[in-house]
A = this chain, B = another copy of it.
Amino acid sequence: MDERLTCPYCQGGELLAKFGIKLAELDHSELILFKEQSHPGRVIVACKDHVREIAELSDADRNDFMADVVKVSRAISKAFGPAKMNYGMYSDKLHHLHVHMVPKYEDGFEWGGVFAMNPEKTFLTDEEYKEMGDKILAALS
């Protein structure tokens, strides 16, 4: 079976809604708000291409993808003022290149260490997700 049919980043809809909310299309990626918000402002930047690995992209596509990543990083910093952004690319089992972007706050949750894939602790109301998404989009523009 074509694995894109079960890929949340390719299909969106209910598959994506399990953990994320699409906020915007960027040049070479999609920006997704991560529903688990133990780290306020945590997002995912997912590549437009269903590739497993950043090393599979051409130089030009990789540069465009990383330009999106830092554009989002700067927007999150502007919107939420974290002490540091963390970045993680795993995809051991889900074969679609995406970056977890996790704002860290000094002496806050998981400060100084790696971040959990999904702490499953902090979820917001629809209204709060909307407000957070709008804040990120405003900082992006």
The interface of chain A, by Cβ under 8 A from chain B, is 52-55, 59, 62-63, 66-67, 69-70, 73-74, 77, 83-93, 104, 111-117
A53 touches B84 (CB 8 A): yes
5 contacts between A and B (CB under 8 A): A53-B73, A53-B84, A66-B66, A92-B111, A93-B112
Interface of A is mostly: mixed
Q: Given A92-B104, A111-B92, A70–B87 Cβ distance below 8 Å?
A: no
When C-beta atoms are compared, the residue in chain B nearest to A52 turns out to be B84
Q: Given A62-B66, A87-B88, A114–B112 Cβ distance below 8 Å?
A: no
List chain B residues, Cβ under 8 A from A70: 54-55, 62
B91 touches A77 (CB 8 A): no
Give the complex CA separation of A90 and B56 in angstroms: 23
Neighbour of A88 across the interface among B73, B88, B111, B116, CB < 8 A: B88
B88 touches A92 (CB 8 A): no
A63 to chain B, nearest CB (A): 5
